[in-house]
């Protein structure tokens, strides 16, 4: 890992209507629009969906790093993140986040260790830690024959 601080730069460009184009060096451009809830088309990534996606992605990548460092054998992780947007004191903001994680281990896998690592991933995910909201984790761990 490179030393801190890390810096990330995104450029956004738009005209009076249509999609916003997001760009960053070395990455493909991404078109975004308001979600259907804000009278957008609902068929493109939105700032809201990108934020929730960032939490889910960060959770999975954090778990992967923790499992690797702990030498946990695992075969799959499914993650579903859901954010709750509400209006509080006349300000629209995310007020809660729920992460459902389903971890698959080998038949002889340590279910308790898998659960602890999922919990640690939730507590150390830098994206959700950067948000001012409560995060609820529902973790399911199963050992499956292989």
- Residues lower than pLDDT 70 in the chain: 146
How would you class 29 by CB atoms within 10 Å of its CB: exposed for 0-12, middle for 13-18, buried for 19 or more? exposed
Q: What is the pTM of this model?
A: 0.93
Q: H helices then E strands: how many in the chain? A: 3, 6
Q: Which domains does the chain have, with CATH numbers?
A: 47-144 (3.30.300.20)
Spatial separation of the C-alpha atoms in residues 63 and 69, rounded to whole Å = 10
The pLDDT value given to residue 90: 96
Spatial separation of the C-alpha atoms in residues 60 and 124, rounded to whole Å = 11
The angle subtended at Cα 72 by Cα 54 and Cα 3, nearest 5°, is 50
The pLDDT value given to residue 145: 73
The count of other CB atoms within 10 Å of the CB of residue 102 is: 15
The count of other CB atoms within 10 Å of the CB of residue 24 is: 12
The pLDDT value given to residue 144: 85
The pLDDT value given to residue 146: 63
The full DSSP string for 35-71 is: -GGGTS-SSSB-HHHHHHHHHHHHHHHHHHHHHHHHT
């Amino acid at each position: 890992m490179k030393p801190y601080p890390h810096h990330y730069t995104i450029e956004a460009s738009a005209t009076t209507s249509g999609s916003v184009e997001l760009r960053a060096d070395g990455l493909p451009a991404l078109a975004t629009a308001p979600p259907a809830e804000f009278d957008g088309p609902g068929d493109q990534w939105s700032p809201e969906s990108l934020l929730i996606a960032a939490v889910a992605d960060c959770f999975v990548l954090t778990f992967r790093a923790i499992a690797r460092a702990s030498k946990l054998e695992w075969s799959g992780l499914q993650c579903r993140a859901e954010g709750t947007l509400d209006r509080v004191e006349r300000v629209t903001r995310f007020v809660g986040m729920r992460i459902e994680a389903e971890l698959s281990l080998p038949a002889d896998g340590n279910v308790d260790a898998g659960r602890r690592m999922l919990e640690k991933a939730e507590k150390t995910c830098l994206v959700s830690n950067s948000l001012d909201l409560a995060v609820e984790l529902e973790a399911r761990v199963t050992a499956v024959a292989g």
